[in-house]
């Protein structure tokens, strides 16, 4: 894992530096003295060769100092910690909603395949596949946020709520609509996976054996099919961790929800290198860890796989 992260950091660093312009390019302002800008570039070390810049950065990063954001003029770690909690809560809510919706739908659709309900559910998953998240998010925002007025239309918390129970409730209230929007689109692949797995497993020999031995239908489904069908879903969970940290650019911009995805895009547009690299590295680490967690989960739920 360590060499992976190390190589990832070099690649990220080089690619970030290859972007045209730097954090000062946006400050095109005749009232600013070009000499002062040149002095700032020198001060920030932007004129050094890449390996010097990389060494400066990696040696600090190893000590937990990811540098300062040029735009925000504050430590990157502080900036990320402000955002990451929003994204974590949003992702957690999305994850819970996703599984709450996906598992029952998948089971119904798989168990009663080719029935009326299955067709409805399959139809929904096809629409979900076809529907881009940012369109769906806008529709949800318009309908539930503006038209019905049931949910707040932006932000992560009511500006007036600053502490206590009100603060927590306001936070939850604010993340329900974006989380639901993501979950309703996000469930479709899980539903399809689960459906296909169940249909697949139904025809396996050991199910026929179980039926032949007189196991009741509910026992067949709950004990034999369901557990086996959940394997790929469980493997997915690790990758959801990446989503937990990464957030989603679309939903966060549509709902003006300040999280990591929004921070990432803004820092790219603003050429805020220290933030770009730090956030991208964090995403990378999250997905490496996510892969590891997937393997561990699979290992737990599937006795056929064992780490030697």
Partner 1 sequence: MKKSSWSRSWQVVLMLTLVLALAACSSNGGNNSANPGTGNNTPSENTSNQGENSTDDGKPKADADGNFNIADFSNVKTNRGEPIQGGSITFGLVGDSPFEGTLNFNFYSGAPDAEVLEWFDEGLLTWDSNYVYTNDGAATYEVSEDGRTFTFTIRDNVNWHDGVPVTAEDWEFAHEVISHPDYNGPRYGSDFTNIEGVVEYHEGKADKISGIKVLNDKQLQITYIKSTPSLLTGGVWIYPLAKHIFKDIPVADMAASPQIRQNPIGIGPFKVESIVPGESVVYKKNTDYWRGEPLLDEVILKVIPATTVVQELKSGGVDLVSDFPVDQYPDNADMSNVEFLGIIDRAYSYIGFKLGTWDAEKKEIAMNPNAKMADVNLRKAMWQAVDNDQVGKKFYKGLRWGGTTLIPPSHPDFHDASNPGVTFDIEAAKKTLDDAGYAYDGEWRTNPDGSPLEINFISMTGSDISEPLAQYYVQSWAAIGLKVNLEMVEFNTFYTKVGSEGTDDPNVDVYMGAWTVGIDVDPTGLYGHDALYNFPRWESEENDRLLAEGVSEKAFDVEYRKQVYKEWQQYMVEQIPVFPTLYRSLLSPVNERIVNYAIGDGTGFYRYNIGVTEDKPVVAK
Binding stretches for partner 1 (CB under 8 A):
4, 8, 11-12, 15-16, 19-21, 25-36, 40, 68, 71-75, 82-83, 138, 141-142, 145-146, 149, 153-157, 159-160, 162, 242, 253-254, 256, 258, 262, 265-266, 268-271, 280, 283-284, 287-288, 291-292, 295, 307
| Residue 124, CA distances (Å) to 92, 102, 108, 132 in order | 23, 12, 13, 14
Nearer to partner 1, 8 or 58 (CB): 8
- Which residue shows structure tokens 């689960």? 194
* Minimum gap (Å) between residue 161 Cβ and partner 1: 9
Half-sphere exposure of 116 (CA within 13 A, CB side): 0
Instruction: Tell me how far, at minimum, the Cβ of 17 lies from partner 1, in Å.
Output: 11
Q: Give me the residues paired with residue 68 across strands.
A: 75
Taking CA atoms, 59 is separated from 5, 44, 62, 176, 235, in Å, by: 14, 16, 5, 41, 35
Least separation in angstroms between residue 186's CB and partner 1 is 17
| Residue (4 or 209) nearer to partner 1, CB | 4
Return the bridge partners of 75, or none: 68
CB 244 within 8 A of CB 96: no
Query: 271 — alpha (psi -120 to 50), left (phi > 0) or beta?
Result: left
When the beta carbons of 122 and 267 are compared against partner 1, the nearer one is 267
Give me the least distance between CB of 299 and partner 1, in Å please: 9
Q: Could you give phi then psi for residue 68, rounded to 5 degrees?
A: -105, 145
Nearest Cα residue to 237 out of 160, 283, 301, 154: 301
Label residue 51 left, alpha or beta by phi (over 0 means left) and psi (-120 to 50 means alpha): alpha
**Which is closer to partner 1, CB of 10 or CB of 120?**
10
Give the nearer residue to partner 1 in terms of CB position, either 20 or 214.
Answer: 20
Residues forming beta bridges with residue 235, ordered by sequence position: none
Nearer to partner 1, 28 or 62 (CB): 28
The encoded tokens of residue 49 equal 């060769």
Decide if 281 contacts 77 (C-beta within 8 A). Answer: no
- In the bound state with partner 1, the residue whose beta carbon lies nearer, of 73 and 213, is 73
Smallest gap from residue 155 Cβ to partner 1 (A): 5
Q: Which pair of tokens denotes residue 255?
A: 């709902």
Q: Which two tokens stand for residue 55?
A: 């060494």
Least distance from partner 1 to the Cβ atom of residue 178, Å: 12
**Beta carbon of residue 42, minimum distance to partner 1 (angstroms, whole number):** 13
Residue 194 vs 276, nearer CB to partner 1: 276
Per-residue burial over 275-296, b = 16 or more CB atoms within 10 Å of its CB, e = otherwise = bbbbbbbbbbbbbebbbebbee
Whichever of 172 and 269 has its CB closer to partner 1, that residue is: 269
Neighbours of 266 (CB within 10 A): 17
Shortest gap between Cβ of 172 and partner 1 (angstroms)? 15
Please state the closest distance from residue 237 (CB atom) to partner 1, in A. 14
């Amino acid at each position: 894992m360590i060499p992976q992260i190390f190589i990832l950091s070099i690649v990220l660093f080089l690619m970030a530096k290859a972007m045209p312009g730097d954090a000062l390019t946006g400050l095109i302002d005749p009232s600013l003295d070009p000499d002062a800008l040149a002095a700032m570039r020198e001060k920030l070390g932007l004129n050094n060769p890449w390996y010097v810049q990389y060494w400066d950065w990696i040696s600090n990063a190893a000590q937990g100092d990811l540098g300062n954001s040029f735009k925000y003029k504050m430590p990157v770690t502080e900036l990320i910690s402000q955002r990451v909690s929003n994204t974590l809560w949003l992702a957690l809510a999305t994850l819970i909603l996703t599984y709450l919706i996906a598992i029952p739908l998948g089971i119904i659709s798989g168990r009663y395949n080719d029935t009326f309900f299955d067709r409805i559910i399959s139809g929904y998953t096809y629409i979900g596949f076809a529907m881009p998240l940012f369109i769906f998010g806008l529709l949800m925002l318009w309908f539930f946020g503006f038209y019905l007025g049931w949910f707040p239309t932006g932000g992560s918390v009511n500006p007036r709520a600053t502490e206590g129970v009100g603060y927590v409730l306001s936070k939850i209230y604010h993340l329900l609509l974006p989380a639901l929007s993501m979950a309703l689109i996000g469930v479709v692949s899980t539903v399809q996976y689960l459906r296909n797995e169940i249909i697949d497993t139904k025809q396996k020999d050991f199910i026929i054996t179980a039926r032949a031995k007189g196991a009741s239908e509910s026992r067949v489904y709950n004990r034999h099919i369901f557990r086996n069908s959940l394997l790929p879903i469980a493997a997915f969970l690790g990758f959801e961790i990446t989503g937990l940290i990464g957030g989603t650019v679309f939903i966060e911009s549509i709902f003006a929800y300040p999280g990591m995805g929004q921070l990432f895009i803004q820092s790219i547009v603003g050429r805020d290198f220290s933030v770009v690299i730090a956030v991208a590295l964090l995403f990378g680490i999250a997905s490496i860890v996510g892969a590891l967690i997937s393997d561990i989960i699979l290992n737990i739920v599937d006795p056929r796989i064992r780490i030697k």
